[in-house]
Amino acid sequence: MSTATVAPRAPGSPIVSRIVIYGLLGLFALVYLIPFFVMLLTSLKPMPEIQHGNILALPKEPTLDPWIRAWGEACVGLTCEGIHGYFWNSIKMVVPAVAISTLLGALNGYVLTKWRFPGHRLVFGLMLFACFIPFQAVLLPMATVLGTFGQFGKTLINMTGMNFGFGNPTVNLVFVHVVYGLGFTTLFFRNYYEAFPTELVKAAMVDGAGFFQIFRRILLPNSLPIIVVTVIYQFTNIWNDFLFASAYAGSGDVMPMTVALNNVVNTSTGVVEYNVNMAAAMIAALPTLLVYILAGRYFVRGLMAGAVKG
């Protein structure tokens, strides 16, 4: 009877592999974080240091004045209003768009997995196809739809004297992001609910629970991982959107943060104040950065939660 021989493991090889892996990860992190580091340093420097110094040098006289000016006095167009108002415009757009698209995606995933109907695969396939339509392809059709909404809103105002928000730039952007994000949110929840035990749903039906009772009391309480994934994904995409915002928000006080930030950078006259521009860019990036810091560890965990059925 022959015995299999096992090749001796090279001494110290796991340590060497770990050093190589962590060394490469550290190198990639350094390369990725250098632009962020330069932005932070520039936003803390006065203009003479930026004009006559090294961009990687630490500030000799650190100052928060660029941050204060970017938040409250950065020039947009012919006025100097600051970007704080546009920051809240983005908040007012992002929060309802993320909440509505997440809720509708959860309902779609629930219906497509636990209340299947003839043609449900075709419906899901069409919604999945919508995920691959580029932004530019829907600009004109969506503008036509939003124009129709605006006319309908004016008609309602003339008939009832009440403004229901149709045609409002913020409402328009919420509608656009809900529609465009619905394919992705449905995909996330459908894959997650596919692995959810159907027996629990059938048992609830036997006990007399209805459609919304099952959804609210059984599926939603067990959907926290995929809800976190969906919220992070939608929040990041909507907050950083520039194309839809510049196309449908118009100009003036209703612009989101990304459009206002672009105007701050491109309407500088005379000496370009790089410290104020960098501070404004940092302020615009802080919400998504905080979201990933606080909930980033749940992102991959939530994606993997629905990857395996059973």
Contact (CB, 8 A) for 261 and 241: no
Instruction: Judge whether 266 lies within some domain.
Output: no
Span 152-210, pLDDT tens digits: 777 767 777 666 666 788 888 999 999 989 999 999 999 899 888 888 888 988 888 88
> Residue 76 gets which letter from DSSP?
E
The whole-number pLDDT of residue 235 equals 93
The number of domains in the chain is 1
pLDDT, averaged across the chain: 82
Q: How far is Cα 175 from Cα 43, in angstroms, rounded to an integer? A: 35
Instruction: Judge whether 156 lies within some domain.
Output: yes
| Residue 309 predicted with pLDDT over 80 | no
Span 251-264, pLDDT tens digits: 677 888 888 888 77
The whole-number pLDDT of residue 103 equals 95
CB atoms within 10 A of CB 223: 24
Q: How far is Cα 94 from Cα 239, in angstroms, rounded to an integer? A: 6
Instruction: Judge whether 221 lies within some domain.
Output: yes
CB atoms within 10 A of CB 307: 9
Instruction: Judge whether 118 lies within some domain.
Output: yes
Instruction: Judge whether 144 lies within some domain.
Output: yes
The whole-number pLDDT of residue 77 equals 43
As beta bridge partners, residue 75 has 80
Contact (CB, 8 A) for 176 and 241: no
| Residue 76 predicted with pLDDT over 50 | no
- Dihedral sign of CA atoms 24, 27, 31, 33 in order: positive
Q: How far is Cα 244 from Cα 90, in angstroms, rounded to an integer? A: 13
The whole-number pLDDT of residue 13 equals 67
Instruction: Judge whether 167 lies within some domain.
Output: yes
CATH number at residue 177: 1.10.3720.10
Instruction: Judge whether 247 lies within some domain.
Output: yes
The whole-number pLDDT of residue 7 equals 52
The whole-number pLDDT of residue 161 equals 65
| Residue 298 predicted with pLDDT over 90 | no
For residue 43, give every residue at least 6 positions away whose Cβ sits within 8 Å of its Cβ, in sequence order, or none: 66, 67, 70, 275, 278, 279, 282
Instruction: Judge whether 68 lies within some domain.
Output: no
Q: How far is Cα 125 from Cα 135, in angstroms, rounded to an integer? A: 19
pTM for the predicted model, two decimal places = 0.81
What is the average pLDDT across 102-124? 90
The whole-number pLDDT of residue 104 equals 94
For the chain, give the percent of residues with pLDDT over 70: 85
Structural domain of residue 222, as residue ranges? Answer: 86-257+283-305
The whole-number pLDDT of residue 96 equals 94
**Residue 246 is encoded by which pair of tokens?**
């510049």
Span 226-251, pLDDT tens digits: 998 899 999 999 999 988 888 888 66
Closest to 215 measured CA to CA, from 195, 201, 197: 201
